[in-house]
Amino acid sequence: MKEIDITKNELVPKHTILNDSEKEELMNRYKIALRQLPRIKMNDSVVESLGGKIGDVVKIVRKSPVVGESVYYRVVIRG
């Protein structure tokens, strides 16, 4: 069967894994610990394809009919 790159699908919003400095900047911006972020499971198809590990923060840029682009951050958890 043909491998499909799901990140290319127009319905899949853009996911990127933050590097350490970006992650720290985010934590400082909201003055939070990792556990206070919304979660995403490690077995989430997009996270799998990005190779996300537990504790990584994924930045998700979604297209929204209301505001154009909305940005979300999620921490990768076991699952």
In whole angstroms, what is the distance from residue 12 CA to residue 25 CA?
26
- 28 near other proteins, judged by CB under 8 A: no
The binder of other proteins chosen from 1, 4, 11, 67 (CB under 8 A): 67
Q: Which is nearer to other proteins, 48 or 69 (CB)?
A: 69
DSSP 8-class letter at 45: H
Residue 31, sorted as left (phi over 0), alpha (psi -120 to 50) or beta, turns out to be left
Q: Which is nearer to other proteins, 27 or 42 (CB)?
A: 27
- 38 near other proteins, judged by CB under 8 A: yes
- 73 near other proteins, judged by CB under 8 A: yes
In whole angstroms, what is the distance from residue 53 CA to residue 44 CA?
11
- 31 near other proteins, judged by CB under 8 A: yes
